[in-house]
Structure 1
C-alpha cells in the first residue's frame, strides 16, 4: 500500500512546518473584507479607510458595505433600513425566556446571556447549517442575527437591573436605537454619533482571535449563529474584547494627576501589563485610539483631560525606562472613556464591542462559507514517547 506521501506528493509532514507561536503573521486565507497594516497604523474595510468611514458615514452604510459588498446610495440605504428595522424585534419564541436568562447570567452580565439567547432565536427561526443553505439565505440569517444582537443585549441588561426591556424603534438609527433601548431615553445626537463612530471603528479588524474563531467554525459548515457564538467566546477574553472597562479601571486606580508618574513607574518596572496600552499588530499609534481621543475631546471634561495626561506620561516614562520599546494606547483606552461619557455602564462596554464586531464576524462567516475548506491545523506532540505499555489495572475491571 502506498504511503500518504506517495499518494499525494503535495502532502507536507506537519512536524516539518515551523510557524510562530500563536500563528502570528501566518497567512491562512485570502479575504476581500479588511486588512490591518500595523507598521503604517492603518486599517480598512474593503477598499475604504475604516477611520474615514467612521468619520463620514453611518453604521448602516458600513453594515451594508460589509455584508452586501458596497456602500449604499440613498435609495439603497433607505431600503436597507426598512429591511433591517423589523429584524430588531425580539422573536416570540425568545421573549418569554429572557427573564430566566437574565437571572441566570446576572453575575456574569449580558454577554454571557447573549449566546444562549441567540441560540434560542436561531432555533426559533429555523436557521440551518451554512453547508445546507444558499448564499441568499445566509445573508438573511446574517442580517437577522446582527440586527437582533443589540436588542438582546439591552434587554438582558435592563432585566438584570430590575427594569423592563425597551422595544426598538424603527425611526432611530442603529446607534441611537441601541442607546434608547439601553436607557429608555432618546439620546442626545452627539452621544448617538459618538457611539456610532465607536461601533464603526470596531466592526472588523483583520484576522483577530474572534474573527479567526468564527471562520474556523464556519469552515465546518455549522450554522451562522454557531459561528457567532464562537466569536463571542473569544471576544470575552480580557486580552481581546474584555479590556475597555479594565482600561477605565486603570484611570480609577491611578486616581489623581499627582499619582500618575509613581503608578506608571511601579508597573513598568514590575513588568505589569498596563491595560489599554499595546497591540499585537500596531507598531505605531492605533488609529482607532487616535480617532476616539478626538471624539472624547469633543465632550471635554476632567476625565478626558486626565486620560490624555496618563497617555502622555506612559509613553514618556516608558521611553525613559525602556528605550526603544514602542507602547501606545490601543482602541480600548479611549473606547472606555467615550462609552462612559455617553452614559454606558461598564458592564456594557464589551457587549457594545460585541454588537459591532458581530457585523464583521458575519461578513467573514459569509466569505468563508462561499469558498470553504475545513480549517484543520496540526499540533506538534511533545509528551512522553508513544506507544508505551499500558500499566496493569490495580483491581478487577468493571463488568
Structure 2
C-alpha cells in the first residue's frame, strides 16, 4: 500500500549548519550549574531568599513539627498525606520490609570488616546491591510504575537496618533485629543502641530525619536522577546518591561541625579560634549554604530541639553560633553567611546518643526516601540527562605524531 504526503504537512529540511550557529558548549552557564533549572518536579523546592522549603505543597518544617516520618514518606512516594487508616496500612506495608534478606545476613560481617575504618556508609552501597540482586530488582526502564514503588519501599525500609547492623558489627556487637511495632525513628535508635529510646530522643531524631528527607536539587539528588534517566535499576540510583552524599561538602558536615565545638573547647577560645581560621580562608563547618541567603529553617528548628534538651553543650553551641555570625559579618560583610542545618544536627544527634560516625549515615537514611521519590519521578520521563561540556584543551585538529 502506498501513501502520499501533503506538501503542506511535510517536514521542512533542516538548515545547513552555519559556522556562526551557537553550539551547546557556547551557552554560558554558571559554575556548578548554580541556579540552572534542569527539569520540573512536583516533589519539593527550596526558596533560598525566603528561608523556606517544602515537600509537595506543605512546609517541610511544619511537617517535621506536626507529622511522623512515615507520613512524609507516604507523601513523597504516594503523593498525599495519609489519614489514620492509610497510615496504619502504610506501616503494615513497610515495617516487614525492615528485616535483612537471608542472602545478605552471612555477608554483612565481611562487609563490616572490610570497611571498618571508613564506616558503615562505605558498605551500604554493596549491601543494598546484594539485597537488590537477591530480590530480583530490574532496571527502571523494564519495570512497571507499581513495581518501582514496591522496590523503592523495600530499599528505603532496609537502609536503616543495614546501617545499624554494619555499625554494630564494626564495634564487635551483634546486629539488633528490627521491631515492627516501633515507628521508623524509634526503631532506628533501637537497632543502633539495643535499647528502646526515650520518647524525646525518638521524636528529636524523627524531626531531624523529616527535615532532611529532601532539599531540592542538591548534588546527591541530582546524581540519583541522572542515573535514573539512564533506566538503571532503583538501587543503582540510590548507590550513586550515596557516593555524592559521602563528600564532606555535602553529607559529611554534621560530624565536622561537632568537631569544631570540641576543638574550640571553651567560650574564651571562640573568638581567637574562629578569627584565625576565617582570616586564613578556611571554611567554618556549619555556616553558609549555597542556596540560603537568610537563616536556614532547618537550623532554626534543630536549635529549638537542642534547647529542649538543654545542658552545657547546647549553651556552648548557642554561644559559638552567636560569635561566629558576628565575626563572619565583620570579616566578610555582604556575604550573607548564616548557620546551616549541619551545625545543630550534630548537637541533636549527639544528645540522642548517636556516635559521630553515624551522623552522615543517619542523614543518608533520611535522604534515601527523598532520592527514591526523585528516582520514581525521573523514571516517568524517558529522556536521558545528557548535558554538554565546553572543550578548553589544545586547538584541534592537530596532526597525530608518527612513531
Q: TM-score, normalised by structure 1?
A: 0.96
The one of 105, 112, 135 aligned to 1:125: 135
Once residues 28 and 5 of structure 1 are traced to their aligned partners in structure 2, the CA distance between those partners, rounded to angstroms, is: 27
Partner of 2:7: none
Q: Does 1:210 align with 2:186?
A: no
The runs of 5 or more residues in structure 2 that have no matched partner are: 1-11
Q: Residue 208 of structure 2 corresponds to which residue in structure 1? A: 198
State the secondary structure of the residue aligned to 1:291: helix
Q: Which residue of 1 aligns with 2:328?
A: 318
Query: Which secondary structure state, in structure 2, belongs to the residue aligned with residue 317 of structure 1?
Result: helix
Task: Provide the secondary structure at the position in 2 that maps to 1:392.
Answer: coil
Of 373, 376, 380, 2:386 maps to: 376
Deviation at 1:390, TM superposition (A): 2.0
Deviation at 1:223, TM superposition (A): 0.3
Secondary structure of the residue aligned to 1:35 is strand
Deviation at 1:4, TM superposition (A): 7.3
| Aligned-partner SS, 2:180 | coil
Aligned runs of 1:5-16 on 2, under 5 Å? Answer: 6=16, 13-16=23-26
Secondary structure, in 3 states, of the residue corresponding to 1:250?
helix
Give the Cα separation in 2 of the matches to 1:36 and 1:337.
24
Tell me how far 1:324 sits from its aligned partner.
2.1
Distance 1:16-1:5 versus aligned 2 partners, 3 A rule = farther
2-side partners of 1:39 and 1:319: how far apart?
Answer: 18
Map of 1:396 onto structure 2? none
Whether the 8 Å contact between 2:224 and 2:238 is mirrored in structure 1 is: yes
3-state SS, counterpart of residue 204 of structure 1: coil
Q: Deviations over 1:193-240 (max 9, x none)?
A: 000000000000000000000000000000000000010000000000
Counterpart residue number, 2:169: 159
Query: Offset of 1:386 from its aligned partner?
Result: 1.8
SS of 1:61 mapped into structure 2: helix
Cα distance between partner residues in 2 of 1:269 and 1:159: 43
Structure 1: segments with no counterpart, 5+ residues: 394-399
- Could you tell me which residue of structure 2 aligns to residue 93 of structure 1? 103
Distance change >3 Å, CA 143–CA 385, structure 1 → 2? same
Distance between the aligned counterparts of 1:147 and 1:71, measured in 2? 18
Residue in 1 that maps onto 2:5 = none
Alpha-carbon distance in 1 for matches of 2:113, 2:25:
48
- Across the two proteins, how many residue pairs are aligned to each other? 389
Q: CA deviation at 1:385?
A: 1.2
Alpha-carbon offset, residue 3 of structure 1: 9.8
Cα distance between partner residues in 1 of 2:119 and 2:238: 18
Of the candidates 96, 108, 115, which is equivalent to residue 118 of structure 2? 108
Of residues 239-248 and 15-24 in structure 1, the stretch that sits farther from structure 2 once superposed is 15-24
TM-score (norm 2): 0.95
Distance 1:323 1:108 in 2: 38
| Residue 262 of structure 1 pairs with residue 285 of structure 2 | no
Change (3 A) 1:5 1:201: farther
- Residue 26 of structure 1 pairs with residue 36 of structure 2: yes
Match of residue 60, structure 2, among 50, 72, 80? 50
**Two-structure CA RMSD over aligned residues (Å):** 1.4
> Which residue does the alignment assign to 2:399?
389
Kindly provide the CA deviation profile for residues 138-193 of structure 1, in whole angstroms up to 9, marking residues without a partner as x. 00000000000000000000000000000000000000000000000000000000
